[in-house]
Structure 1
Amino acid sequence: MTGNTDVVVIGGGYAGVMAANRLTQRDDVTVTLINPRPNFVERIRLHQLLGGSHDAMVDYRKVLGERVGLVVDTVIRIDTAERRVTLATGGTVDYDYLIYAVGSGSADPSVPGAAEFAHPIASLEEAQRLRPVLDAAPATAAVTVVGAGPSGIETAAELAEAGRAVTLVCGGVLGPYLHPRGRRSVAGRLGELGVTVLEGPDTKVTAVTRDVVRLADGRELPSEVTIWTAGFGVPDLAARSGLTTDALGRLLTDETLTSVDDERVVAAGDSAAPSDLPFRMGCQSAVQLGPQAAETVLRRLEGEEPVPVSVGFAGQCISLGRRFGVFQVSQKDDTANRYYLGGRTGGKLKEFICRSTVWQLRYEARKPGAHTWWAKDDKRQELLLAKRGEVPSTVEPVS
């Protein structure tokens, strides 16, 4: 391709910012990032926003390259035939290539009353709406956190450390991703903070009212503030625009992150489903997928074939208040193993990871393309072959 190339990146989260910055290594590429907010949101700090120790925002000028144009708006439709996106304010933006990085948010809860009476916290706006609700509630008010993944655990610990009476309803196992050794460490710290942890299948939530959470075993938990962290969903922009998605609504791509419908559309982050075998949602995969999505575009501009995606995991870090945490070590395929770091060491590591993630964005803005290698999960190829029916699989896919 000759002349200038316009690339639009939809979504300014971890994947979108990494992709936009990576694209600026070519002077003949004009990059436009479209995002609903004027600031970058540190989603891994939203629980701190609730606890009052961080606002979970960073000025985009601190994490975006100077050549990235920022449009604060929402894309409501993608027209692949015209290579154009329509904005909520009525304008349009044309593109030669599009990177789809709209991220994820709270899933619509199917539990009766949850949508009406429970507070989701997957987005900045949701967390900001909940903060004054917590501030207005008496210090002795019963707070129930539903969902025992990282968001639920971190939120419960943060609020309990601030003096709140918190019950964490797991609906199953506490920290399903964790190895039993790491899980015991998390449970121990939650106990020290005074969090009541309810585990097992009988703790599935069957209904939520204004002041009660009802469980499968018939128990009714008094709850003046109910916080919902169970499950994530993705925006339906791709589906509404006629693009093929997986069952959850993530854009279906091949292994180069290219849409199965249009090679001018590339996906990254939580909203991507490469080969219908998506990676675990979160910043750890997003900061790897973002620049690789950009590399797919850049290679096409060079007249080269894009390379398959390569994502490897190191583990999962969970804060347990401001001073403690747990880092659960994993294999590169995201399978947790028996090793973990807990206590104050785990807390310091969690804070280091939060800071270093923003540092990665800044580094890519200053030196786009400097990072040229990616961790590799050797088991992904086995999963792909098994999905095609070519060999039996001995590993479980990560969802």
Structure 2
Amino acid sequence: MVLGGGYSGLIAANRIARRLNGADIMLVNERPRFVERVRLHQVAAGQRLPEHLLADRVRPGVGLTIGRVTAFDADRREVRVGDTVLGYDTLVYALGSGAVVPESAAGAVTVAGAESAEEARKRIADLAAENGMLAVVGGGLTGIEAAAELAESHPGLRLRMLTAGEPGDFLSARGKAHVRRVFDRLGIEVLTDAEVEEVREDAVVLRDRRAVGAGLTVWSTGFGVPALAARSGLAVDAHGRIRVDPTLRSLSHPDVYAVGDSAAAARSNGRELRMACATGIPAAYCAADAIAARLTGGEARPLRFRYVNQCVSLGRRDGLIQYVDADDNPHRTILAGRIAARYKEAIVRGALFVTVRSGPYSFTRRRPVLG
């Protein structure tokens, strides 16, 4: 059983089906559609994207159960989906993450989920029609991509970013400078040292009690995982992510594997992997191959992974590729402008492609090889 039909879960289900011909595989997902999460800022900006049904993206032999997982008992090997209890022998936990929004910011919208991005789209369109002011809280990757996309798609929208540090603190000096140039071109005002205390209907209140006008706020300060894994009895870290060994197997329950944002996975040197599509995809390959190996008497190989770059979209006509070392620390080298936008688009399309074509590669050796 695979819980979650995002990038990691769908790849894991299809990879297991390829490796274990005739196995009984069930993919459980809350909705019948596959959501390109890395494009949700485009949805919020009003762009219409193709719909991808999960039924069209699973290999033969993978069954689908559509419904919300409401309970999970790791000791009894049972999952409750709505009013139905399902049993399993081996489970892949891939329920991902969601936006963390404090109660004081309950009036804000996010672009972290399909429904929330659609709500944001409607409200932002109304605000843009009035030439209103939109605040984006958070200067990380999600905030940067959302701010640039919204400013480009709605030229009449006034937009300001509120962030405790510099937008893109994870980037090199050259990378941060390019983001600032794009923001200046798009008319995005940036307020640094702006720690948000409260989101009101018409303003954002900072910790120093300054009120910054905003007809709507997009909250993008980080992600968290559901409490379901912790409640189930699985060993989790301080953030609720499932603690796993180098093959993505749960440290407390050997019949459970975790992939994607749900897993507290690490590189061979102990450096924890960040929540990202870039890490979730190879983790899914690794877990699927480990399951297939153990069920057929083979050797389960550990995850072999290194970072190469971070891809940032800055609207449809600009982008930034920040090259990094194996541990995700930025190099001086960047790629920027239209060519970077095309690069990022190719990466996003490739991520969609491998959810179906999950067979040819392995991330359990030093480099991808023919499987």
TM-score, normalisation: structure 2: 0.92
Partner of 1:260: 251
CA apart distance, 1:269 = 0.5
The answer to whether the 8 A contact 1:24-1:31 is kept is: yes
2:169 is the counterpart of 1:179:
no
Match of 2:150 among 141, 159, 168: 159
Query: Alpha-carbon deviations, 1:174-202, whole Å to 9, x = none?
Result: 11211111110111011100000122xx3
2:113 is the counterpart of 1:119:
no
The answer to whether the 8 A contact 2:104-2:198 is kept is: yes
Match of 1:64 among 46, 53, 58: 58
Structure 1: unaligned runs, 5 residues or longer: 1-7, 378-399
Amino acid at match of 2:175: G
- State the secondary structure of the residue aligned to 1:93: strand
> How many angstroms apart in 1 are the aligned matches of 2:190 and 2:257?
42
Range with greater deviation from structure 2 (183-192 or 71-80): 71-80
The answer to whether the 8 A contact 2:282-2:363 is kept is: no
> How many angstroms apart in 2 are the aligned matches of 1:80 and 1:224?
45
2:238 is the counterpart of 1:247:
yes
> How many angstroms apart in 1 are the aligned matches of 2:221 and 2:51?
23
Partner of 1:384: none
- State the secondary structure of the residue aligned to 2:21: coil
Query: Alpha-carbon deviations, 1:16-56, whole Å to 9, x = none?
Result: 01100110121231111101011111011001001122337
> How many angstroms apart in 1 are the aligned matches of 2:364 and 2:249?
18
Partner of 1:195: 188
The answer to whether the 8 A contact 2:140-2:167 is kept is: yes
The answer to whether the 8 A contact 1:312-1:374 is kept is: no
2:289 is the counterpart of 1:298:
no
Query: Alpha-carbon deviations, 1:109-132, whole Å to 9, x = none?
Result: 2xx6202x1112211111111221
Q: How does 1:375-394 map to 2 (within 5 A)?
A: none
Change over 3 Å in CA distance of 1:305–1:78 after alignment to 2: farther
The answer to whether the 8 A contact 2:12-2:284 is kept is: yes
2:89 is the counterpart of 1:96:
yes
Q: How does 1:1-399 map to 2 (within 5 A)?
A: 8-25=1-18, 26-55=20-49, 57-88=51-82, 90-109=83-102, 113-115=104-106, 117-137=107-127, 138-161=129-152, 162-163=154-155, 164-199=157-192, 202-274=193-265, 278-364=272-358, 368=359, 370-373=360-363
The answer to whether the 8 A contact 2:162-2:191 is kept is: yes
Structure 2: unaligned runs, 5 residues or longer: none
How many residue pairs end up in the alignment?
360
TM-score, normalisation: structure 1: 0.86
> How many angstroms apart in 1 are the aligned matches of 2:259 and 2:241?
10
The answer to whether the 8 A contact 1:45-1:54 is kept is: no
> How many angstroms apart in 2 are the aligned matches of 1:327 and 1:180?
13
CA apart distance, 1:265 = 0.4
> How many angstroms apart in 2 are the aligned matches of 1:64 and 1:335?
36
CA apart distance, 1:373 = 4.1
Amino acid at match of 2:5: G
The percentage of aligned residue pairs carrying the same residue is 38
CA apart distance, 1:376 = 5.1
Amino acid at match of 1:311: F
CA apart distance, 1:207 = 1.8
The answer to whether the 8 A contact 2:11-2:281 is kept is: yes
Query: Alpha-carbon deviations, 1:290-343, whole Å to 9, x = none?
Result: 111111211110223422222222211111111111111111221111111111
> How many angstroms apart in 1 are the aligned matches of 2:105 and 2:245?
36
Amino acid at match of 1:256: T
CA apart distance, 1:78 = 2.0
- State the secondary structure of the residue aligned to 2:334: strand
The answer to whether the 8 A contact 2:136-2:220 is kept is: yes
The answer to whether the 8 A contact 1:157-1:193 is kept is: yes
